[in-house]
């Protein structure tokens, strides 16, 4: 078994509870938001479960990134990162293992969100190509956010501080987005921010994939955000992993 596979299996073994939460958090978020808001927020022809699913998916990916921060910080704090550097393995194997785990977690969260939404009337009517694009964009976002979170955790090195740093901005970005409500539900002075911030752009694209209507400009913006985050956070995470203590 390769070091990468061993390290991934180790994380999976230690994170069973986290995988349970990967399933339960999007489901409970979906249940709570749907019952709370489906009768008060107008989403036109689209039912509310159909409307909100992308926001629940993005929220689940962001929540996964928070747990990645904790994992990277605890590996550094426990001295595991330093011990790994003394072994005859690639210095990037631990990072790759953590990212593989994040993708597995992301797939679980995505599946749970889709199943939960299906019970509330969500349907993916847009065909295989759009469905594949939906999954691919969700997982690209997961990977990008997880790399950033991993870098934050590796740098912080203190599990207590690490994930709390990211919780408040994540909360603000998700709630002040078109993920939960159309832009006209917000005060007029805030609408420009709400419309153009990354979570809104990505949720609009994901929503487009579920309905089969995606505007080129919106798709380009979302791809730019996902790939941009990947390009920025990837090298930082890799550099931190390769750096000696």
Which residues of this protein are in contact with another protein, per CB under 8 A?
14, 17-18, 21, 24-25, 28-29, 31-33, 35-37, 39-42, 67, 70-71, 74, 158-161, 164-165, 167-168, 171-172, 175-176, 180-181, 185-187, 190
Q: How far is the CB of 76 from another protein (least distance, A)?
A: 14
How do the residues of the chain divide into helix, strand and coil, expressed in percent and rounded to 5? 80, 0, 20
Of residues 41 and 139, the one with the C-beta less far from another protein: 41
Is residue 104 within 8 A of residue 186, CB to CB? The reply is no
Q: How far is the CB of 91 from another protein (least distance, A)?
A: 25
Helix, coil or strand: residue 180: coil
Helix, coil or strand: residue 116: helix
CA–CA separation, 136 and 142 (whole Å): 10
Structural tokens at position 31: 């249940």
Type and span of the H or E element at 131: helix 128-156
Q: How far is the CB of 180 from another protein (least distance, A)?
A: 6
Of residues 55 and 240, the one with the C-beta less far from another protein: 55
Nearby residues of 24 by Cβ (< 8 Å), 6 or more positions away: 112
With tokens 């489901």, the residue in question is: 27
Of residues 135 and 202, the one with the C-beta less far from another protein: 202
With tokens 């985050």, the residue in question is: 229
Q: How far is the CB of 174 from another protein (least distance, A)?
A: 8
Of residues 174 and 226, the one with the C-beta less far from another protein: 174
Q: How far is the CB of 243 from another protein (least distance, A)?
A: 24
Q: How far is the CB of 175 from another protein (least distance, A)?
A: 4
Of residues 55 and 135, the one with the C-beta less far from another protein: 55
Rounded to the nearest 5 degrees, what angle is found at the Cα of 89, between the Cα atoms of 88 and 91? 120
- How many CB atoms are located within 10 Å of the residue 105 CB? 27
Of residues 187 and 217, the one with the C-beta less far from another protein: 187
């Amino acid at each position: 078994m390769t070091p990468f596979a061993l390290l991934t299996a180790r994380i999976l073994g230690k994170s069973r509870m986290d995988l349970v939460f990967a399933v339960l958090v999007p489901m409970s978020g979906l249940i709570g938001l749907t019952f709370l808001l489906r009768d008060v927020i107008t989403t036109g022809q689209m039912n509310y479960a159909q409307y909100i699913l992308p926001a629940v998916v993005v929220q689940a990916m962001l929540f996964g990134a928070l747990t990645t921060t904790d994992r990277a910080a605890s590996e550094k704090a426990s001295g595991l990162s330093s011990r790994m550097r003394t072994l005859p393995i690639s210095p990037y194997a631990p990072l790759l293992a953590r990212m593989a785990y994040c993708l597995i977690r992301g797939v679980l969260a995505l599946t749970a969100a889709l199943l939960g939404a299906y019970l509330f009337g969500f349907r993916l009517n847009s065909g295989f190509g759009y469905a594949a694009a939906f999954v691919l964009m969700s997982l690209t976002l997961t990977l990008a956010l997880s790399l950033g979170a991993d870098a934050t955790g590796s740098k912080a090195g203190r599990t207590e501080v690490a994930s709390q740093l990211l919780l408040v901005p994540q909360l603000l970005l998700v709630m002040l987005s078109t993920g939960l409500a159309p832009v006209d539900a917000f005060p007029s002075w805030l609408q420009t921010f709400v419309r153009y911030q990354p979570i809104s752009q990505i949720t609009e694209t994901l929503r487009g994939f579920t309905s089969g209507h995606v505007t080129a400009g919106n798709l380009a913006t979302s791809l730019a955000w996902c790939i941009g985050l990947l390009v920025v956070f990837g090298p930082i995470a890799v550099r931190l992993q390769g750096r000696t203590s």
